[in-house]
Structure 1
């Protein structure tokens, strides 16, 4: 009886190990989808100043409702470090526009904004977005449009997508939303591009009182 009991115990442990291994294997290969939402800063004044104008401010105040409706609450929000200066009309200013644009959304969702990277540090931003912690996340990125164009193309190229699918971001376009869907699973990675709109053009030229 003792011998038989030992055999049964070994069988039980073997079956349990097999089940645990199968579960771990499934968890490791379960497909994930990362959604990266790219929005340009709002409209800017003559001379730039690193700031938004009143139209840009009004856009930023209405952006939270657009993000909530189309994507829900993001898991992370990124904007460039405002201390990294950028030239507007040949004069360097603290680059506040992107942060000012996404700040109302961060306030709406009671979230921090990650501002570790300067506006031109797209490689570092991409590396952060590709961290495993974001593999199944929705991420909002507010940035400068030329840098967003580069970022979108690089992310698609490096994750099995077609970088040619990304249209150039026009200088007069403050309303587009570039969305990247990166799917990972079973050793395979693919990426898809989608272009949406905020629907917030034509904001008042006067600031809220």
Structure 2
């Protein structure tokens, strides 16, 4: 009995420590810098339902996106009874959440938006504290993805290209290097 009491927490820690982190940029944004996603960005959000969906090999069990800012007209955060983006409609920093929300809905997951855009240590803490099953998907602004990878443990993270919206970085435990870079290969958006 004592053996089981000691073994179970160890196994749980081992499972969480072995999760792979996948990092992506939000979908395409308006050229004028306004909030939200373009039609192409919305198309990408729908494509991610297939790329990272339940039938994919990514086995996503946890999704993290940067914390949106509430709109000027609404300071209330969304409740479980309304659409998750309602309190943020028209607000800034909504692109990452808008990009992964359709996937999260399909997988029955709640997107963790507890970390501010510039708080990469918060993201690293969430990854380190994840005890669920499956892998972790992080969706953020491209300028901050390298900082997140560095906070996870990579001493020399790559830069996410300014002109790309389709790149998937793979960062397996112990999170000290990006081991693979792939394309989301969204039809009509990405050339293979």
8 A Cα contact 1:77 1:140, kept in partner: yes
Aligned pair count reads: 166
Q: What's the RMSD between the two structures over aligned residues?
A: 2.8
CA change 1:27–1:93 in 2 (3 A) is closer
Output the TM-score relative to the length of structure 1.
0.69
Q: Please give the secondary structure, in 2, of the residue aligned with 1:104.
A: helix
8 A Cα contact 2:35 2:91, kept in partner: yes
Q: Please give the secondary structure, in 2, of the residue aligned with 1:179.
A: strand
Bigger radius of gyration among the two = 1
8 A Cα contact 1:175 1:201, kept in partner: no
Structure 1, unmatched stretches of 5+, are 1-15, 86-91, 158-162, 184-189, 205-209
Deviation by residue 1:85-136 (Cα, 9 ceiling, x = unmatched): 9xxxxxx9511110000011011112111111221121111112111525x6
Output the TM-score relative to the length of structure 2.
0.74
Q: Please give the secondary structure, in 2, of the residue aligned with 1:81.
A: coil
1:50 aligned onto 2:35:
yes
Look up the match of 2:58: 71
Whole-Å separation in 2 of the counterparts to 1:103 and 1:119: 17
8 A Cα contact 1:49 1:93, kept in partner: no
Whole-Å separation in 2 of the counterparts to 1:80 and 1:201: 26
Cα offset, 1:137, TM superposition: 4.0
Whole-Å separation in 2 of the counterparts to 1:27 and 1:46: 49
> Which contiguous aligned blocks of 4+ residues in structure 1 show a shift greater than 4 angstroms?
none
Higher helix share goes to which structure?
Answer: 1
CA change 1:93–1:26 in 2 (3 A) is closer
Look up the match of 2:183: 197
Pick from 131, 142, 146 the counterpart of residue 143 of structure 2. 146
Moved more, 145-154 or 96-105: 145-154
1:180 aligned onto 2:171:
yes
Deviation by residue 1:17-56 (Cα, 9 ceiling, x = unmatched): 6xx28x8369637844121111100111122212110111
Structure 2, unmatched stretches of 5+, are 72-89
